[in-house]
Amino acid sequence: MAAPKINARASSWRSFVVPSLLILILFLSVGYYVITTIRNFYNHERAEEASVLAKSYTSVLSTVIDAEQQIEDQLNSTLRVAGVTVSKYVQPFSQELLATMASNLDVDVIYLYDENLIVTHSSNGEYLDWTAPEGHPIEAFYHSGADSLVEEIREDTVSGIPHKYGYHRFADGRMVQVGIFASNIKKLYSQFEPQYIVDKLSHDSKHTLLALLDDKGSVIAASDPSLVGNAIQPENIGLPISETQYKLIDWENQEFLAFHLPIVIKEKHAGSLVLFYDLSNVNILMLRISLIVSISLLLFFLYFLFSFLNIYRKNQRILNLAYHDELTGLHNLRYYHQYLSELKSKKVACIVLNPTNFRMLNMLFGYEHGDMVLIGIGNILTKLSEQYKPCQPFRLSDDRFLIVLSDYQDGEELDSLCSSLMSIKEETGLFGSIEICLGLARSETETHDSTRMLREALIALNATSVTNKIQFYNEHLEEILVERDAIESELNQAISSPTNGLSLVFQPIIESKRGKIRSFEALARLTSQKLGMISPLTFIQIAEQRQLIIPLGKKILSLACDFIAVLQNSGYDSISVAVNISAIQLMHESFVPDLVSLLQEKGVQNQSLELELTESVFTQDMELLSNQLRTIRSLGIRISIDDFGTGYSSLSRLGTLPIDTLKLDKQFVDKLQSNEEQAKGLASDIISMAHHIGKVVVAEGVEEQEQRTMLTNMECDLLQGYLFSKPIPAQKALELLESKGELDAYPS
């Protein structure tokens, strides 16, 4: 059948061009707005910075005025303190002592005079025995009677080097002269000179020209020294003196941002500050932004052209995705509904194919391998659709496929297709507990309800089992589905509730020769207020189908560990408990960590727990299975194989795996009382060979004393069955241990 046609009106040129032009205009407007905003923002930032600089400089100038007087007072104080300090010294003076005192007192020279105005000591070794001439300031100080005197800066009488001197009188009439070089004083003042401040600001800031004007407009300091002394009027700059205004000007073929800011000291106009900011970097930035905008526009149009030329292909791809599964390439559910609604055939069969427990394959080998298997199934279905025409395959969901067969002649053709579908397991490499199950629904009317047929096929699929892998829909299946849904609901409640419905009973396993209880097997029971007692086979199967087997298994293990804890607290440390686990549960990546945490939480000994596996585990990947079992065995947990002899296992395989115990299936025990010598010999051989490879053997289903006698004679290690006890609650199991401790054909 041809693919459904999709009515899609091709978009006209106008529907693309008009929006594109509008987008272009919007893009240009946004670009212009962005560039203008960035430029204005940058200019505003520069204005703010200039204002801050001007205010900072104003503060500095105010400080300079005060600083000059403070420096003068500090120098006078230093000279007085130095004179007093020297005059108070009572030890003999020397050149070295005076030099040290000069250094400590922050002065440059110290001279000592006697009453005749003759230099007796000096800090630098000069002027010794030198007599002050008439008219020397020290002579005036000597006759003044004052204790101290500080002079202004003057040239030294002998060397001519400018000094600032201070004098102080000793109590015995001697005098001391202390001095500071004028050159050192000028260094202090130089840090507050306007030119020094301008040079400092020019070096630290990013502007390229700075000039400080006095209140008459004359340049008193500038970053360009050639401007000092020139007059710069506001009209020359083109800006009045203002804290907020600025202007773009050209200066020597460069663009600058000009500011003319007032300097106010003590509320009086003291001058102004001219700042020219070089905008070269801004212009480069604007050029780059313009280039980026232009390139973006170009890329936009190239993208538009490319999109327009490929619009047809994209529409085709969208249509393809709408009606096809991306992974397998098969048609999808949407296409199925349209396909069936247009199908003119009178006889139609819908087959839902599901590889059960597909999650196991993903878990063991990863989702990539699982996807490859799904692709393989899709390829096989495509080939089958060519063989069984007209036949159309679809992919429904993760691991479910749908096949629609129409115009088939009879039931044999449908059966042949089902047989081919069942062979997919071998062709795609699906293994073990992963089985192919088919649910079928048929319609023989003029028109076919796609939703109803799919629903019926899914109901039929839900009714499949390990022994019934192909199921045709019938009305009774809906009742079964309702019942299974109810059981699933009860299971969910039992798993989530600590006391609701799910419980364990325990069947003792005894030593064949002594009759002593060696261990118990834990068996799950589910009781519902609505449904009554639910068969373990039923709710276990539903748990596996509805992905509840892992949480159910965790719950059962937890209850079993509770019983082990009770046994240990009652002094039965040697009694172990065996718990059945599924292959899915065993191979789950979190099984071992969860098991270790559970044992630690319950506080039970690892060796008191035994895990029972069915032979179906041997259909898993043997290397992964072996690694998982060895990890479990390394924890001290015993491992047994349940129902041995009915499935996939062999003694040669068991010899390579860390298996402790084989549980001989009940069918071998049942045949012991028959006249078939072959059956007796087979049971005996299995026990003998199991012992040969170091395995313990448990016989299940022992119900007759004669069976016990024969198994004991065959050297079977342990026995289990109704001959000794039926499965009993935990409290009765404890009472059984307390009252007997051993069972000798104990009545059930």
Distance of CA 608 to the CA centre of its chain: 40
- Return the bridge partners of 640, or none: 612, 661
pLDDT in tens, 127-186: 898 988 888 888 888 888 888 998 888 888 888 888 889 999 998 889 999 998 877 777
**In-domain check, residue 9:** no
What is the domain-level CATH number for residue 372? 3.30.70.270
* Locus of tokens 């949407």: 334
Which pLDDT belongs to residue 741?
58
What number is the average pLDDT over the span 259-284? Answer: 75
Residues 350 and 461 in one domain: yes
- Grade residue 567 by pLDDT with cuts at 50, 70 and 90: very high
> Does residue 520 surpass a pLDDT of 90?
yes
Which pLDDT belongs to residue 61?
57
Q: How do strand 109-113 and strand 175-181 relate by DSSP bridges?
A: antiparallel
**In-domain check, residue 204:** yes
More confident residue, 505 or 29: 505
Distance CA(518)–CA(718), nearest Å, equals 8
Q: How distant, in Å, are the alpha carbons of 30, 243, 331, 399, 595 from that of 727?
A: 82, 99, 52, 39, 25
> Does residue 725 surpass a pLDDT of 90?
yes
**In-domain check, residue 525:** no
Instruction: Specify the pTM.
Output: 0.56
**Residue 361 neighbours by CB distance under 10 Å:** 24
- Identify whether the C-beta of residue 211 lies closer than 8 Å to the C-beta of residue 251: no
The boundaries of the domain holding residue 266 are 32-68+195-283
pLDDT in tens, 454-466: 999 999 998 888 7
**Residue 171: is it exposed, middle or buried by C-beta count within 10 angstroms (0-12/13-18/19+)?**
exposed
Residues 171 and 269 in one domain: no
Q: How many residues does the chain have?
A: 748
Backbone angles phi, psi at 13, to 5 degrees: -60, -40
Residues 146 and 207 in one domain: no
Residues 164 and 200 in one domain: no
Which pLDDT belongs to residue 473?
92
- Return the bridge partners of 64, or none: none
Which pLDDT belongs to residue 190?
64
pLDDT in tens, 49-87: 666 765 676 566 556 655 666 777 888 888 888 888 888
* Locus of tokens 């789950």: 588
pLDDT in tens, 379-421: 999 999 888 878 899 999 888 999 999 888 888 889 999 999 9
Residues 64 and 76 in one domain: no
What number is the average pLDDT over the span 558-584? Answer: 93
Most confident of 447-451, 498-502, 729-733: 729-733
Last residue of a domain, one of 188, 211, 226: 188
Residues 362 and 332 in one domain: yes
Last residue of a domain, one of 143, 158, 188: 188
- Identify whether the C-beta of residue 603 lies closer than 8 Å to the C-beta of residue 610: no
- Identify whether the C-beta of residue 505 lies closer than 8 Å to the C-beta of residue 727: yes
**In-domain check, residue 4:** no
**In-domain check, residue 634:** yes
What is the domain-level CATH number for residue 249? 3.30.450.20
pLDDT in tens, 18-28: 666 777 677 67
Which pLDDT belongs to residue 30?
72
Residues 642 and 580 in one domain: yes
Mean pLDDT of the residues in the chain: 82
- Grade residue 14 by pLDDT with cuts at 50, 70 and 90: low
**In-domain check, residue 16:** no
- Identify whether the C-beta of residue 385 lies closer than 8 Å to the C-beta of residue 393: yes
Residues 607 and 660 in one domain: yes
The domain total for the chain is 4
Distance CA(469)–CA(471), nearest Å, equals 6
Residues 605 and 722 in one domain: yes
What number is the average pLDDT over the span 354-382? Answer: 84
What is the domain-level CATH number for residue 684? 3.20.20.450
State in Å, rounded, how far the first CA of the chain is from the last one.
66
Distance CA(242)–CA(258), nearest Å, equals 11
Distance CA(620)–CA(627), nearest Å, equals 12
**In-domain check, residue 27:** no
Residues 559 and 676 in one domain: yes
pLDDT in tens, 229-260: 777 766 556 677 777 677 777 777 777 777 78
pLDDT in tens, 432-442: 557 899 999 99
More confident residue, 673 or 606: 606
3-state secondary structure at position 146: coil
Instruction: Kindly state the tokens that stand for 79.
Output: 């000279």
Residues 168 and 242 in one domain: no
Distance CA(426)–CA(449), nearest Å, equals 34
pLDDT in tens, 182-200: 777 776 666 666 777 777 7
Residues 382 and 260 in one domain: no
Last residue of a domain, one of 264, 283, 302: 283
**In-domain check, residue 486:** no
Distance CA(134)–CA(470), nearest Å, equals 139
**Residue 11 neighbours by CB distance under 10 Å:** 12
Q: For the chain, what percent of residues have pLDDT higher than 70?
A: 85
Strand order from edge to edge, sheet including 109-113: 119-122, 109-113, 175-181, 162-169, 148-155
